[in-house]
């Protein structure tokens, strides 16, 4: 049976560069015999947008499957609307055959990835921030490794993972560290929920995506 990918794409506006990447991705899937479905939804509140992409039903309770279990797939691939990617990036992530594995991409400053290897409560209390991975950190890495948090810009998730955490899958969580009191973004909240469920979130240091802002951010 052919491998089947569910592409999960929140958003409503996409650039010409994204369209080029998407064309490359779909062409690669067609040539490789990979079947696919696409789920795209939009909401101005990003938590709602991501839950909508997975067909979440607020009347179905805490325990539910994406799309009510009616959409067959082997892996879902989250792709944000500002990612610059290739079909080969998907192939690389698939080769690991793990529950959750992600590529990396730089944040707005162009110096740090949207990835935290170790959640440090003491540092959070002292500085109000966490330590994000940098391009120099990746130079020391060989192979995938677990992290506390990474963004969902290009994340591959095996079927059955979301069934192990409660709905709504994407929701803010309160964080307290010293005098710091804040709520998480939707991707941080998901990674924390996965960690509590015993599901390891891993990243591949060889899969580095472009992040399209006012410019494409690459190391």
The answer to whether residue 198 scores a pLDDT higher than 90 is yes
Which pLDDT tens digit goes with each residue over 15-38?
Answer: 999 999 999 999 999 999 999 999
pLDDT interval class at 128 (50, 70, 90): low
pLDDT, position 120 = 75
Percent pLDDT > 90 in the chain is 80
Domains of the chain: 4-210 (3.90.550.40)
pLDDT interval class at 76 (50, 70, 90): very high
Instruction: Name the most confidently modeled range: 93-102, 110-119, 175-184.
Output: 93-102
pLDDT, position 119 = 79
For the entire predicted model, the pTM comes to: 0.94
The answer to whether residue 123 scores a pLDDT higher than 80 is no
Contact call for residues 103 and 154 (beta carbons, < 8 A) = yes
pLDDT interval class at 79 (50, 70, 90): very high
Mean pLDDT across 191-207 = 97
């Amino acid at each position: 049976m052919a491998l089947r990918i569910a592409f999960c794409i929140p958003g409503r506006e996409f650039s010409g560069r994204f369209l080029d990447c998407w064309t490359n991705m779909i062409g690669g899937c067609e040539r490789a015999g990979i079947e696919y479905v696409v789920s795209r939804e939009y909401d101005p509140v990003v938590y709602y947008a991501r839950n909508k992409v997975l067909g979440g039903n607020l009347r179905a309770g805490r325990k539910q499957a994406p799309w009510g279990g009616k959409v067959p797939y082997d892996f879902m691939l989250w792709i944000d609307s500002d990612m610059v990617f290739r079909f080969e990036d998907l192939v690389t992530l698939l080769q690991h055959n793990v529950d959750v594995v992600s590529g990396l991409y730089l944040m707005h400053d162009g110096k740090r990835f949207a990835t935290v290897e170790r959640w440090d409560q003491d540092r959070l209390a002292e500085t109000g921030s966490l330590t994000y991975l940098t391009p120099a950190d990746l130079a020391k890495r060989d192979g995938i490794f677990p992290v506390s948090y990474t963004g969902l810009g290009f994340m591959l998730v095996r079927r059955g993972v979301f069934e192990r955490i409660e709905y709504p899958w994407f929701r803010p969580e309160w964080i307290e560290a010293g005098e710091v009191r804040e709520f998480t973004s939707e991707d941080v909240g998901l990674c924390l929920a996965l960690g509590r469920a015993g599901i390891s979130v891993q990243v591949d240091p060889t899969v580095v995506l472009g992040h399209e802002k006012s410019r494409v951010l690459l190391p």
